[in-house]
Amino acid sequence: MAKYIYEHKNWTQFSWQDKAINGMFGEVRLMQGKIIGQMNALGFSAKEEATLTALTLDVVKSSEIEGELLNYDQVRSSIARRLGINTAGLVPSSRHIEGVVEMMLDATQRYTLPLTEKRLFGWHAALFPTGYSGPYEIKVGRYRTGEMQIVSGALGKEKVHYEAVKPRLVKAEMDKFLNWFNNDNSLDPVLKAAIAHFWFIIIHPFDDGNGRIGRAITDMLLARAEGSGERFYSMSSQILTERKQYYEVLQKVQHSKGDITGWLEWFLRCLKNAMLATESTTQKILRKAEFWKLHEHTPINERQRLMLNKLFEDFEGKLQTSKWAKIAKTSTDTALRDIKDLVEKGILQQTDEGGRNANYELVRF
């Protein structure tokens, strides 16, 4: 069995081949600047909207990587409330969601503060407010005291993918990690984000939640790299898309003797893809901002505002009166009146498809 990276002496003195990563690293840094520039040109409310969308995706997708599905609207509402963003249609959210959001916002909004053991324990406790992960009771708000293996396969045919640092060494390894995190400023924060993610995952210091906390640490350092708590892209969202490669590269590099080039290459490419994915979101937000600017004096009621925003965001399928009534929680008569009013104002139009149910769409502007 090949040795794990942490079984080598001075294993945290990571090395990598600059030549292999420099090109991608330069591209990532350039794109970060470009996205921030685009966002600053957006104006305040559109920028808030972009941040809200990116943070919501980050929370939802980071949990989805672990196989847990959170309610998008609840997450979005919780973040909006905490950031004081005024947005229509807020819904109450569960204690569990509040905890996950709390951790994420602490990492991304208070990114200049040191990362301490106490802060990490707070994050961990916020992720598991009941002291349980699913049906299992876990040690919450402290490091694990048991062995940690990552296993797959049926009972009796398990395959061990990874065996983490021994429990008695966790505290010393984490002290070393936190000392590096808070005091070593020799690295560019983007590279530091990549290394911190890998290093933390290798130690695997908690009974559960290591992936989510690792990704929050990444986001914290990316916020430092940009000097801003405004998030415009979601790394977790991209990791979910590339989950298979994510696990493959971790599995490969966990056996290296200290050279983590393969991991850095993957991380930078994933980050670049996350930013590319954001460009299309930005286009949507720009269109929405332009639309509201155009219609700032048009009389539009709350139901219409809610539905128009939905059409700019994540509306699936055709817009029909019945759907309008359901989403806006109103009668079909009122829905039809709302729609007809917007048709008269030149905002909506009926599509060409005939049939019993009329379909509507936004008029190009």
Convert the pLDDT of each residue in 208-257 to its tens digit.
999 999 999 999 999 999 999 999 999 999 999 999 999 999 999 999 99
* Residues 221 and 322 reside in one and the same domain: no
* Residues 266 and 313 reside in one and the same domain: no
Residue 195: the pLDDT is 98
The answer to whether residue 90 is domain-embedded is yes
* Residues 42 and 117 reside in one and the same domain: yes
Residue 89: the pLDDT is 76
Residue 354: the pLDDT is 65
* Residues 270 and 356 reside in one and the same domain: no
Q: Is the pLDDT of residue 339 over 70?
A: yes
pLDDT tens for each residue of 122-141: 999 999 999 999 899 999 99
Number of domains in the chain: 2
Average pLDDT across the chain, whole number = 93
Give the confidence band of 112 by pLDDT, cuts at 50, 70, 90. Answer: very high
Residue 241: the pLDDT is 96
pLDDT tens for each residue of 149-202: 888 888 888 888 899 999 999 999 999 999 999 999 999 999 999 999 999 999
Tell me, what CATH number does 208's domain have?
A: 1.10.3290.10
Residue 286: the pLDDT is 78
* Residues 268 and 336 reside in one and the same domain: no
* Residues 267 and 306 reside in one and the same domain: no
Region 261-276 average pLDDT: 97
Residue 323: the pLDDT is 93
* Residues 323 and 245 reside in one and the same domain: no
Q: For residue 345, what are the domain limits? A: 301-362
Widest CA span of the chain, in angstroms?
74
Distance CA(138)–CA(132), nearest Å, equals: 6
Predicted TM-score (pTM) of the model is 0.84
Tell me, what CATH number does 334's domain have?
A: 1.10.10.10
Highest-pLDDT range among 143-157, 182-196, 275-289, 342-356: 182-196
The answer to whether residue 310 is domain-embedded is yes
Percent of the chain whose pLDDT exceeds 70: 99
Q: Residue 151 CA to chain centroid, in angstroms?
A: 25
The answer to whether residue 295 is domain-embedded is no
Query: Residue 297 is encoded by which pair of tokens?
Result: 């004096």
* Residues 224 and 259 reside in one and the same domain: yes
In this structure, the dihedral spanned by the alpha carbons of residues 126, 128, 129 and 130, taken in order and rounded to 10 degrees, is -170
The answer to whether residue 78 is domain-embedded is yes
* Residues 263 and 313 reside in one and the same domain: no
* Residues 94 and 180 reside in one and the same domain: yes
* Residues 307 and 241 reside in one and the same domain: no
For 206, half-sphere exposure in the C-beta direction (CA atoms, 13 angstrom radius) is 27
The answer to whether residue 356 is domain-embedded is yes
The answer to whether residue 119 is domain-embedded is yes
* Residues 279 and 306 reside in one and the same domain: no
Domain termination residue (choose one: 237, 252, 287):
287
Domain termination residue (choose one: 287, 316, 332):
287
The answer to whether residue 323 is domain-embedded is yes
360-365, long-range: CB < 8 A, 24+ apart: 360/319, 360/320, 361/319, 362/308, 362/311, 362/312, 365/290, 365/291, 365/294
The answer to whether residue 293 is domain-embedded is no
Domain termination residue (choose one: 225, 260, 287):
287
Q: Is the pLDDT of residue 81 over 70?
A: yes
